[in-house]
Amino acid sequence: MKRCLILFSFLFSANLVYAQVPATKTPFAGKWLATLDFFGTPLYLKVDLNQQEEGLKGTFGGDPLEGKVNGSQYHFLAKDRNGGTEEATGRLENGTLYGDVVETRGDDLAHPFKYTFTAVLAPARSTAAPQRHEFAPTIFYRQFSPLNKPVLRINPGDTIHTTTVDAGGVDGNNVRRVLGGNPQTGPFYVETAMPGDTLVVHINRLRLNRDWAGSDDALVDRATDSNLAVKVKGNGKGIRWHLDTAAGTATPEKPSEHLAKYTIPLRPMLGCVATAVGPAQAPPPTGDSGYYGGNMDFNEITEGATVYLPVSNPGALLYFGDGHAAQGDGELNGNALETSMDVEVTVDVIPGKRPPQPRVENGSTIIATGIAGSLDDAFRAATSNMASWLEDDYKLTPSEIAQVLGTASQYKVAEVADRNVNLVLKLDKERLKTLTQVQK
């Protein structure tokens, strides 16, 4: 079913607090969040309604609709571009829309089917002063799932100060807290974040909270040709690194002969930042990445960076973890200098805009990720992501987008160690100074 496939990322949370329908002559008017019961699976879509006396116009999951109201009863017909329809009848009762829908596809698989939905008005943003939350995690999750119970509910503008465990599940006190595999802190429920919005995650502070990190000496398959693969086939032993936060350096604790004086600068980063996927998608493990973010392993997600993530569920459900003391481009060992972290982030919500894939911004650059199964596809995804960013935020035409990308693009291989690769496209803000940016 076209409609339900498109809506795979929307999930209901029964704990939301919503605005009530105002006592006006147009009680159906407004922006509604509908919860579909699709054979026992909750799916979500937005319904925008404009009521003029007894007439209804608007959209149902993006499809234009027209209909009528009669007291508290309504009927409308929505049509998609492929000839499919959604015919809804129902009532408005105590601020909730109830509906029965008959949907028909506009192709050879046009077998009508029925489902029900309820809809409530989208919540208003809180006017409370921003709060700072001290959060000590007691549980860590290993899937970017919408089914995990939120550990904390916060408002846009609020700040979270917390900690993460390392990829193996060990905390800053060298205590194993959970099975390994990139366990995450969260999920954090962000009030008013709705499917179709953007979650904004400002990384205020990343601090190492212990003096060691783990890695190994393997090389991932994507990084080796046949000759190099033969040479490193015996690699794979664990390497423990000493983290000297005073000097800002990392060194192997038991260096081999030629690395006796090898030192690298510390650059703490978060390997994972994500929002939960929707209910129609099997929850991915925290070693995976995709449109939701996840295990992106991008070494510029550091202190001072801002990450923009698509929202697929009410509350967004923010996860983060997999701290790295340092990492080269690509995460070529299959891991980085894996360690626990002290983390402070501030969250916000951009309503009504949803990026196709995560985006990152720092003081000097804007960065579009491209996460896909191959480097070729990731290259295309990063280019498309940046093109839509320039169109949305700078209102550039296709010709103008091509001119900017052709003269200013910088590509970087962020991660090649996992099922999906992450290739990013960077634009220097200096190149964009003459353009007018639309206010978020």
Residue 8, pLDDT score? 37
Taking only the tens place, the pLDDT of each residue in 36-46 is 988 888 888 88
CB distance 308 to 359 below 8 Å:
yes
DSSP E strands, 71-168 = 73-79, 85-93, 96-104, 113-121, 132-134, 152-154, 159-164
- Is 70 exceeded by the pLDDT of residue 58? yes
- Cα-flanking dihedrals φ and ψ of residue 250, to 5°? -130, 140
Confidence of residue 139 (pLDDT cuts 50, 70, 90): very high
Q: For residues 391 and 406, what is the distance between their CA atoms, to the nearest angstrom?
A: 15
- Is 60 exceeded by the pLDDT of residue 6? no
Residue 203, pLDDT score? 98
Taking only the tens place, the pLDDT of each residue in 232-267 is 999 999 999 999 999 999 999 999 999 999 999 999
For residue 166, give the nearest of 179, 152, 151 by alpha carbon: 179
Q: Is the overall model pTM greater than 0.85, yes or no?
A: yes
As given in the structure block, the two tokens for residue 379 are: 């290259």
For residue 240, give the nearest of 166, 322, 312 by alpha carbon: 166
- Is 70 exceeded by the pLDDT of residue 306? yes
Average pLDDT score over the chain? 92
Residue 24, pLDDT score? 58
Average pLDDT over residues 358-370: 98
